[in-house]
Structure 1
């Protein structure tokens, strides 16, 4: 199908369609994303060993879709750990994920690259934070060689102890000191941690490189209490032209292990296509009245 020209690429997370990255699942996710009218598909690299990289790249190209890769780390491969062996495992996993991103033809690798994805029992240590900075700085060098930008996703306090606000993400990016490291904002997490939905966007400004939109309960956009109007107006104020990707999880789709990691304990929806259609229409309408298309 012919997709409309947009100021922003609009994406959808593969977990709206499927719970793993087997060839059959990838085929379904790519086909569904294209048929729904999105521009790109975000793939979580939690299932690296089953992902057919060349085959997936071919399917994406045939569908005319872009790809963004994302991931979090486990506690036994946490680059913000004080344990050098744990940090080394995390660095190796990030490097493998970067190689997969490149192999898929992606230009953005994002997520909680700086820590494990889960609730920590204590605040980060200075040594642990320094380890994360060092690992991501080295990863950024490898990413730059392949024209890939790294994203630091701002996540809530129950999923990381290192970067919970936009300001903390900017500070971490400053310490990393690489031009190809940007900030990734997510409305679901912002709703928990930020004082409002507009000021963080303006604070990040032109360092914002990727956006997740999701409701406070991760269900249908507009059915919760997130102030999307303020958020999209702020995107317009900074002239944001980067990707905007819809993210939602339901235990009816997401695999058991990942559901546990993401605390997806209930079925917020069952029909991914209905959810996706609504998300695309909602986002398009928001951008039409308040987004960067007004700033061309």
Structure 2
């Protein structure tokens, strides 16, 4: 690929188990296709595998991106209880520390609340309280050489942040100039009236632009036009990572598929998907120059 932007791929597009034993061949494939970063699924910050995973990435000149998988009711950063908020901040810091241990410089994820289908709007005051705690974590990350982003999800996964406008409001309330936004075209296809306008609105804070198709499968099959998205972002001046994400039940562990509502097989070959995705990103880069 000729993209000047870093190009990333979620490892679970290819494999369900990101252990040191399972990683090498997938990392080699992504490296050979021109990917520069690989996103790892949520990991236990105390994992003993960190040194081995770090070495696998370093040997290939790839950079890992971690995911903070979301808070629990006991670590809710928007809680009225100061001790609960403190526990949430500590959880975020632990994943920052894991990112450093792995040799990574970026942490994505859902730090502002519990991941999963909400039964009601967020309580009054939650948004601002969560923003301040996430902002503290972003400052902690910045001091350790890590860029922290938060992902904007659709209404079926959170009631807190569903649009780029809400994300910008959250980032401003965080009181951290280093907190960045993660936009995913899968979620935008559900929530945004104008995907391109959403990217433009978030651009001052945009730290990760992820290409995910409406059906969660190959980027060429669905309502999202990945070439147009990449072209628009680059023409608008976006310089951050461009990511690829897809899910299929035959690759993901069952409990992960259940949590993400992946009931079908949108694709059968991860290698075929990431190969095509690299070609589409290349087309978007080329279109941005015309």
How high is the TM-score relative to the length of structure 1? 0.90
Task: Give the drift of 1:229.
Answer: 4.6
Secondary structure of the corresponding residue to residue 115 of structure 1: coil
Change (3 A) 1:19 1:249: same
Structure 2: runs of 5+ lacking an equivalent: none
Structure 2 counterpart of 1:17, from 14, 19, 41: 14
Mapping of 1:71-86 within 5 angstroms? 71-76=68-73, 77-82=75-80, 84=82, 86=84
Task: Please tell me whether the aligned partners of residues 214 and 246 of structure 1 are also in contact (alpha carbons under 8 angstroms).
Answer: yes
> d(CA) in 2 for partners of 1:86 and 1:259?
29
How high is the TM-score relative to the length of structure 2? 0.92
What are the superposed Cα offsets for residues 191-246 of structure 1, whole Å, 9 maximum, x if unpaired?
00000221011111232111110110011112111133542342133211111010
Moved more, 96-105 or 16-25: 16-25
Task: Give the drift of 1:82.
Answer: 4.5
What are the superposed Cα offsets for residues 39-61 of structure 1, whole Å, 9 maximum, x if unpaired?
11011224545561111111111
> d(CA) in 1 for partners of 2:175 and 2:201?
18
> d(CA) in 1 for partners of 2:160 and 2:119?
12
What are the superposed Cα offsets for residues 244-289 of structure 1, whole Å, 9 maximum, x if unpaired?
0100011111112211111111111121111111111111112211
Task: Please tell me whether the aligned partners of residues 93 and 141 of structure 2 are also in contact (alpha carbons under 8 angstroms).
Answer: no
Mapping of 1:1-296 within 5 angstroms? 5-48=2-45, 50=47, 52-76=49-73, 77-82=75-80, 84=82, 86-290=84-288, 294=289
Secondary structure of the corresponding residue to residue 142 of structure 1: helix
> d(CA) in 1 for partners of 2:275 and 2:88?
36
Task: Please tell me whether the aligned partners of residues 71 and 112 of structure 2 are also in contact (alpha carbons under 8 angstroms).
Answer: no
Task: Please tell me whether the aligned partners of residues 206 and 238 of structure 1 are also in contact (alpha carbons under 8 angstroms).
Answer: no
More helix by share: 1
How many residues were matched structurally? Answer: 289
> d(CA) in 1 for partners of 2:91 and 2:150?
16
- Structure 1 segments of 4+ aligned residues over 6 angstroms from their partners: none
Task: Give the drift of 1:83.
Answer: 5.1
Alignment RMSD: 2.0
What are the superposed Cα offsets for residues 7-34 of structure 1, whole Å, 9 maximum, x if unpaired?
1111110111222332212334323322
